[in-house]
Amino acid sequence: KLEQASMQGIQAWARANPKRVSEMLNTNPSFVFFRELPDNGGGPLGALGVPLTPGRSIAVDPRAVPLGAPVFLATTFPNSDKPLRRLMLAQDTGGAIKGAVRADFFWGFGAEAGAQAGRMRQRGEMWALLPNGYAPNNASK
Protein backbone atom coordinates (compact mmCIF):
# COMPACT_ATOMS: atom_id res chain seq x y z
CA LYS A 1 0.00 0.00 0.00
CA LEU A 2 1.21 3.46 -0.87
CA GLU A 3 0.75 4.86 2.65
CA GLN A 4 3.01 2.07 3.97
CA ALA A 5 5.77 2.65 1.40
CA SER A 6 9.22 3.41 2.74
CA MET A 7 12.61 4.05 1.23
CA GLN A 8 13.79 0.70 2.58
CA GLY A 9 10.84 -1.11 0.95
CA ILE A 10 11.44 0.60 -2.38
CA GLN A 11 15.14 -0.31 -2.24
CA ALA A 12 14.26 -3.95 -1.50
CA TRP A 13 11.83 -3.99 -4.44
CA ALA A 14 14.51 -2.46 -6.72
CA ARG A 15 17.06 -5.12 -5.71
CA ALA A 16 14.48 -7.85 -6.42
CA ASN A 17 13.38 -6.28 -9.75
CA PRO A 18 16.48 -4.67 -11.31
CA LYS A 19 15.11 -4.80 -14.86
CA ARG A 20 12.00 -2.78 -13.87
CA VAL A 21 13.72 0.03 -11.95
CA SER A 22 14.14 2.40 -14.92
CA GLU A 23 10.53 1.85 -15.94
CA MET A 24 9.32 2.72 -12.44
CA LEU A 25 11.53 5.80 -12.05
CA ASN A 26 10.58 7.19 -15.45
CA THR A 27 6.84 6.94 -14.72
CA ASN A 28 6.99 8.58 -11.28
CA PRO A 29 6.65 12.40 -11.58
CA SER A 30 7.89 12.78 -7.98
CA PHE A 31 11.20 11.01 -8.63
CA VAL A 32 14.10 13.42 -8.14
CA PHE A 33 17.12 13.22 -10.42
CA PHE A 34 20.36 14.33 -8.82
CA ARG A 35 23.59 15.60 -10.27
CA GLU A 36 26.91 14.78 -8.68
CA LEU A 37 28.82 17.74 -7.28
CA PRO A 38 32.47 18.00 -6.30
CA ASP A 39 33.07 17.27 -2.63
CA ASN A 40 33.25 20.74 -1.15
CA GLY A 41 32.39 19.53 2.35
CA GLY A 42 29.29 21.70 2.42
CA GLY A 43 26.71 19.11 1.45
CA PRO A 44 24.00 19.22 -1.20
CA LEU A 45 22.74 22.59 -2.36
CA GLY A 46 19.12 23.47 -1.74
CA ALA A 47 16.82 25.67 -3.81
CA LEU A 48 18.44 28.78 -2.30
CA GLY A 49 21.83 27.72 -3.68
CA VAL A 50 23.35 27.17 -0.23
CA PRO A 51 24.31 23.85 1.38
CA LEU A 52 21.56 22.11 3.35
CA THR A 53 22.17 21.63 7.07
CA PRO A 54 21.45 18.16 8.51
CA GLY A 55 18.64 18.33 11.05
CA ARG A 56 17.91 22.00 10.36
CA SER A 57 16.88 22.27 6.69
CA ILE A 58 13.46 21.40 5.29
CA ALA A 59 12.02 21.34 1.79
CA VAL A 60 8.69 23.12 1.36
CA ASP A 61 6.22 24.23 -1.28
CA PRO A 62 7.41 27.82 -1.87
CA ARG A 63 3.88 28.85 -2.86
CA ALA A 64 2.89 28.20 0.77
CA VAL A 65 6.09 28.81 2.77
CA PRO A 66 8.65 31.34 1.51
CA LEU A 67 12.14 30.00 0.91
CA GLY A 68 14.49 31.21 3.62
CA ALA A 69 11.74 31.45 6.23
CA PRO A 70 12.41 30.13 9.72
CA VAL A 71 9.89 27.39 10.52
CA PHE A 72 9.23 25.89 13.94
CA LEU A 73 8.59 22.14 13.65
CA ALA A 74 6.84 20.01 16.30
CA THR A 75 6.64 16.28 15.60
CA THR A 76 8.29 13.08 16.84
CA PHE A 77 11.33 11.14 15.74
CA PRO A 78 10.48 8.35 13.27
CA ASN A 79 8.86 5.25 14.82
CA SER A 80 9.02 6.88 18.24
CA ASP A 81 7.15 8.99 20.76
CA LYS A 82 10.32 11.01 21.39
CA PRO A 83 9.52 14.69 20.69
CA LEU A 84 11.27 16.43 17.82
CA ARG A 85 10.78 20.18 18.26
CA ARG A 86 13.15 22.63 16.68
CA LEU A 87 13.64 25.69 14.57
CA MET A 88 14.27 24.81 10.93
CA LEU A 89 14.94 26.79 7.75
CA ALA A 90 12.91 26.41 4.55
CA GLN A 91 15.88 25.96 2.22
CA ASP A 92 14.71 23.55 -0.47
CA THR A 93 11.74 22.44 -2.57
CA GLY A 94 10.51 19.07 -3.81
CA GLY A 95 8.23 17.84 -6.56
CA ALA A 96 6.03 15.86 -4.17
CA ILE A 97 5.70 18.65 -1.61
CA LYS A 98 2.37 20.37 -2.23
CA GLY A 99 0.71 22.95 0.02
CA ALA A 100 1.32 24.41 3.44
CA VAL A 101 0.95 21.16 5.38
CA ARG A 102 3.91 19.24 3.98
CA ALA A 103 7.68 19.46 4.41
CA ASP A 104 10.62 17.12 3.94
CA PHE A 105 13.19 17.01 6.76
CA PHE A 106 16.87 16.83 5.68
CA TRP A 107 18.54 14.25 7.92
CA GLY A 108 22.00 14.51 6.39
CA PHE A 109 24.38 11.88 5.06
CA GLY A 110 25.15 8.22 5.57
CA ALA A 111 23.25 5.06 6.39
CA GLU A 112 21.64 6.28 9.63
CA ALA A 113 20.44 9.53 8.03
CA GLY A 114 19.04 7.50 5.13
CA ALA A 115 17.27 5.13 7.51
CA GLN A 116 15.73 8.04 9.44
CA ALA A 117 14.63 9.74 6.21
CA GLY A 118 13.04 6.52 4.99
CA ARG A 119 10.99 6.18 8.18
CA MET A 120 9.94 9.84 8.49
CA ARG A 121 6.22 9.96 7.70
CA GLN A 122 4.52 10.93 10.94
CA ARG A 123 2.25 13.88 11.41
CA GLY A 124 3.36 17.07 13.04
CA GLU A 125 2.80 20.78 13.15
CA MET A 126 4.86 23.63 11.75
CA TRP A 127 4.72 27.37 12.01
CA ALA A 128 6.36 29.67 9.47
CA LEU A 129 7.75 32.67 11.35
CA LEU A 130 7.01 35.63 9.07
CA PRO A 131 7.20 39.40 9.63
CA ASN A 132 4.08 41.35 10.56
CA GLY A 133 2.31 42.52 7.43
CA TYR A 134 3.83 39.83 5.21
CA ALA A 135 1.52 39.03 2.29
CA PRO A 136 2.23 35.84 0.34
CA ASN A 137 2.50 36.11 -3.45
CA ASN A 138 -0.81 34.32 -3.94
CA ALA A 139 -2.79 36.30 -1.34
CA SER A 140 -4.92 37.97 -4.01
CA LYS A 141 -5.89 34.69 -5.70
Distance CA 105, CA 59 (A): 7
**Per CATH, which fold does 40-128 belong to?**
Barwin-like endoglucanases (2.40.40)
pLDDT at residue 139 is higher than 60 = no
- Residue 16 makes CB contacts below 8 A (sequence gap 6+) with none
Task: Output Rg (C-alpha) for the chain, integer angstroms.
Answer: 16
| Residue extent(s) of CATH 2.40.40.10 domains in the chain | 40-128
pLDDT at residue 31 is higher than 60 = no
Distance CA 31, CA 17 (A): 17
Residue 58 DSSP SS3: strand
pLDDT tens profile 118-130: 888 889 999 999 9
